[in-house]
A and B are shown apart, each in its own frame.
Chain A
Amino acid sequence: MQRDVGSLPLSPALRARLLAAGFQTAQELLETGPCGLSKEIGISREEALEALQVVRQECAGDAAKTAGGSGSTRKCTALELLEEEQTQGFIITFCSALDNILGGGVQLTKITEICGAPGVGKTQLCMQLAVDVQIPECFGGVAGEAVFIDTEGSFMVDRAADIATACVRHCQLIAEAHQEEDHLQALETFSLESILSHIYYFRCRDYIELLAQVYLLPDFLSEHSKVRLVVIDGIAFPFRHDFEDLSLRTRLLNGLAQQLIIIANDHKSAVVLTNQMTTRFGQNQSMLVPALGESWGHAATVRLIFHWDNTQRLATLYKSPSQKESTIPYNITPQGFRDVQPPPVTQNAEGTEMNPRKRPRREEEK
């Protein structure tokens, strides 16, 4: 109630007038009332009413904060957070080694960044995740939908269809092996058409379209509340040319990162970004480092770097708040993103919690 008039989110002209008239606290404004305010400042009664409504809302928000209610800031204890984290799902990648080093898969409510050389499999992983997020809960998935924002034009529908078909087939094999009611029921709605219809695709041609799309994303996600994954394939590409003013670029990127964090938290979805690699010249050597500069490295919570070692593709967990740094090999097969060797097939006698990461039929696929 004692809030200073200068800090209220009113239009600057109105604020200047209020200060010139001598108003100092929000309490004074509320006491004056709309008619008195309009006479004193010289604005219309409707404008005065609108201003007072804003003031009242602000004060209510403040009061709630000081009283310890939820309001717009989220306050909870670490125990509540632990419970939340433990029940949260992960989006599996179908490569069990990668899931292991990530601690279960791509985490919801966090931003994961994938950096890599060209052609190493970043878009393939993104397409795999867009399919995997839709796996029904009885198979170990999160049963969500996906938003795919493409800035490079590398999304191939046919390839996504192949990956989706392989995923459906995999779930069918599990259902056959275990013959459970809910598995079969889930399979009825989990088909190629339904998977593809729940991947919402946006093609952004430059950074302005990307910014505009991210501004509109919260509204879109409120309408499509089942979305659990937002993929931005190629966050580097639109920002790497046509930018003479690097400080503007840093500012826009930071703003983008903040909005994505808000989106990830509010809608309980995972945000996956792919980044390019750029050559940095040292004294007499050059190295490949992730693009977009040092400050961008702070934006993502989890950072994966994909690279080559002769003919083997490797994934390194470069930055993570909870997992150890490690490197694992992976492959891109006609079915999508997979492990290098088939993991050992364990006979799970209980069968209620089937792990779709294990693929028992690998040898026959040659």
Chain B
Amino acid sequence: MATKKLRRAKLSQELCERLSRYQITTCQDFLCLSLLELMKVTGESYRNVQKLLRKVSLACAPKMQTAYEMKVRRSINPSAAFLPTSLHSLDKVLHGGIPCGSLTELTSPPGCGKTQFCITMSVLATLPVSMGGLDGAVIYIDTESAFSAERLIEIAGNRFPTYFDSDEKLFCMTRSIHLYRELTCDSVLKRIKSLEEEIISKKIKLIIIDSVASVVRKEFDTKLQGNLAERSNFLARGASLLKYVAEEFSIPVILTNQITTSLSNGLAIPADLVSPAHDLSLSEVTGASGSGKKESACVTAALGNTWSHSVNTRLILQYHDLLTRQIVIAKSPVAPFSTFFYTVEKSGLVLQDGKNLSNLPWEGTNPALQTIQVRNTALGNALLKTTDETPGDTPSP
């Protein structure tokens, strides 16, 4: 929209030629100038310049819709609003599942089940609508080379044995998952830019990027000057492109993120559990540093504060004890803060009923600083706990 040429904004031919002599060819150039500059450049009077501004703005401005129209549109096609995750309690709290048209982020320590979750979602997206899927293809952008096609077939076969009863169906499903291996930030950005055309040509219904953090953290060392700003720039640009694509085609976008150590006063974790030398640049120490308190570290989602603003939903996977793990809904515009227990099995993620906490409607914590339990902490807790563990425990450090 910003790069729309002025010719298409219904300005007269001679005016466009005159403006191009001053290097003003797009709507963006036009709207960034002040009124006096515009008067000088167009040679028109004050009133006429205001009229021109209005014309150019009309060419760029978005269309108005009332909230009622939006609701009606959604209710006509309710299945298109969410992608159910087949974890029923999670879907219920999320009012249907992963929302279409917005960014969902999945954060967890390594080995907790992010890629398993992504592979499961890929299978679900290819299922027909009657089974809760989106009946479409999937774009899977893999930056860690963690995708395993064999695991994909295993999950599909074990989770939906009645549907995938023949090899034919399995191959059909695998054909609709398009895998791209991107290993640098630039190539990821280029791939995101090319998404629009691919979505139309291949009828894509789900985009997964696994993971954003690995490629960004490889290239931007935030200890160097200026890199933090550049990194935020890259992330914000990627986020806005993805949001545009998600909203335009009304499809869900799932991104995965890693963890980092955040130093903050006041949290009583023993600092030797997690090395404080990790990612000092993302420290968010509040208060005077000379307070004399021992600074302790806690593990939170990586990529910083600005990224936490850009994603619309944040799900955190973390360790609970030796076998079970937890999904935490840390940030969601429709769901309250809730936790669910699950294990990873042959058929992917399986929720454990009976131990879930979804009636904490008014609590929550800062999704950018929500602490995440890593494997060491979970093992430590498991060894200390007695045999009857109370289900109401949220992992507090």
> How many angstroms between the C-alpha atoms of A330 and B173 in the bound complex?
47
Using Cβ atoms and an 8 Å threshold, which residues of chain B touch A79?
A: none
Q: A209-B60, A213-B61, A286-B283 given as contacts; is B366 within 8 A of A241 (CB)? A: no
Tell which of A11, A124, A201, A252 touches B66, judged by Cβ atoms closer than 8 Å.
A201
Number of cross-chain contacts by CB at 8 Å: 208
Using Cβ atoms and an 8 Å threshold, which residues of chain A touch B66?
A: 196-201
Question: Would you call B368 and A240 a contact (CB within 8 A)?
Answer: no
Using Cβ atoms and an 8 Å threshold, which residues of chain A touch B56?
A: 212
Using Cβ atoms and an 8 Å threshold, which residues of chain B touch A296?
A: none
Answer yes or no: B390 CB below 8 A from chain A CBs: no
Question: Would you call A157 and B27 a contact (CB within 8 A)?
Answer: no
Using Cβ atoms and an 8 Å threshold, which residues of chain B touch A119?
A: 308, 314, 330-331, 364, 366-368
Answer yes or no: A279 CB below 8 A from chain B CBs: yes
Using Cβ atoms and an 8 Å threshold, which residues of chain A touch B102?
A: 153-154
Question: Would you call B39 and A12 a contact (CB within 8 A)?
Answer: yes
Answer yes or no: A156 CB below 8 A from chain B CBs: yes
Using Cβ atoms and an 8 Å threshold, which residues of chain A touch B288?
A: 285
Question: Would you call B283 and A202 a contact (CB within 8 A)?
Answer: no
Q: A11-B44, A118-B331, A205-B62 given as contacts; is B362 within 8 A of A332 (CB)? A: yes
Stretch from A98-106, A305-313, A347-355 forming part of the interface with B:
A305-313
Answer yes or no: B70 CB below 8 A from chain A CBs: yes
Interchain nearest-CB distance for A190 vs B (Å): 14
Using Cβ atoms and an 8 Å threshold, which residues of chain A touch B95?
A: 158
> How many angstroms between the C-alpha atoms of A123 and B67 in the bound complex?
15
Residue of B nearest to A150 (CB): B62
Residue of A nearest to B311 (CB): A118
Using Cβ atoms and an 8 Å threshold, which residues of chain B touch A251?
A: 34
Using Cβ atoms and an 8 Å threshold, which residues of chain A touch B305?
A: 117-118, 276-279, 288
Answer yes or no: A160 CB below 8 A from chain B CBs: yes
Stretch from B112-120, B142-150, B184-192, B237-245 forming part of the interface with A:
B237-245
Tell which of A118, A203, A241 touches B308, judged by Cβ atoms closer than 8 Å.
A118
Interchain nearest-CB distance for A287 vs B (Å): 6
Answer yes or no: A334 CB below 8 A from chain B CBs: yes
Q: A117-B366, A154-B333, A240-B236 given as contacts; is B68 within 8 A of A193 (CB)? A: yes
* B-contact bits for A305-327, CB 8 A (1 contact / 0 none): 00110110100000000000000
Answer yes or no: A189 CB below 8 A from chain B CBs: no
Question: Would you call B67 and A201 a contact (CB within 8 A)?
Answer: yes
Question: Would you call B67 and A148 a contact (CB within 8 A)?
Answer: yes
* A-contact bits for B1-42, CB 8 A (1 contact / 0 none): 110000000000000000000000001100110100001100
Answer yes or no: A204 CB below 8 A from chain B CBs: yes
> How many angstroms between the C-alpha atoms of A251 and B37 in the bound complex?
13
Question: Would you call B368 and A118 a contact (CB within 8 A)?
Answer: yes
What's the tally of chain A residues with a CB closer than 8 Å to chain B?
A: 75
Answer yes or no: B365 CB below 8 A from chain A CBs: yes
* B-contact bits for A193-229, CB 8 A (1 contact / 0 none): 1011111111111111101110110011000000000
Question: Would you call A154 and B71 a contact (CB within 8 A)?
Answer: no
Q: A120-B366, A212-B27, A276-B309 given as contacts; is B285 within 8 A of A286 (CB)? A: yes
Question: Would you call A200 and B64 a contact (CB within 8 A)?
Answer: yes
> How many angstroms between the C-alpha atoms of A232 and B235 in the bound complex?
22
* A-contact bits for B354-370, CB 8 A (1 contact / 0 none): 00000001111111110
* A-contact bits for B58-86, CB 8 A (1 contact / 0 none): 11111111111111001000000100000
Tell which of B39, B60, B284 touches A288, judged by Cβ atoms closer than 8 Å.
B284
> What are 24 inter-chain pairs, A to B, with CB distance below 8 A?
A11-B43, A11-B45, A12-B43, A119-B308, A119-B330, A158-B95, A159-B333, A159-B334, A196-B66, A196-B68, A196-B70, A199-B68, A200-B66, A209-B2, A215-B31, A241-B236, A242-B233, A252-B32, A279-B284, A286-B284, A311-B364, A331-B362, A334-B336, A340-B362
Which chain B residues have a beta carbon within 8 Å of chain A's beta carbons?
1-2, 27-28, 31-32, 34, 39-40, 43-48, 53-54, 56-71, 74, 81, 95, 99, 101-102, 232-233, 236-237, 240, 243-244, 246-247, 283-289, 304-306, 308-310, 312, 314, 330-331, 333-334, 336, 361-369
- Give me the 10 closest cross-chain CB pairs, A-B, nearest first: A241-B236, A9-B46, A196-B68, A212-B57, A208-B2, A119-B331, A212-B60, A199-B67, A119-B367, A197-B68
Sample of 6 further A-B pairs with CB below 8 A, known A9-B47, A118-B308, A158-B334: A153-B102, A196-B66, A197-B67, A215-B54, A219-B54, A285-B285
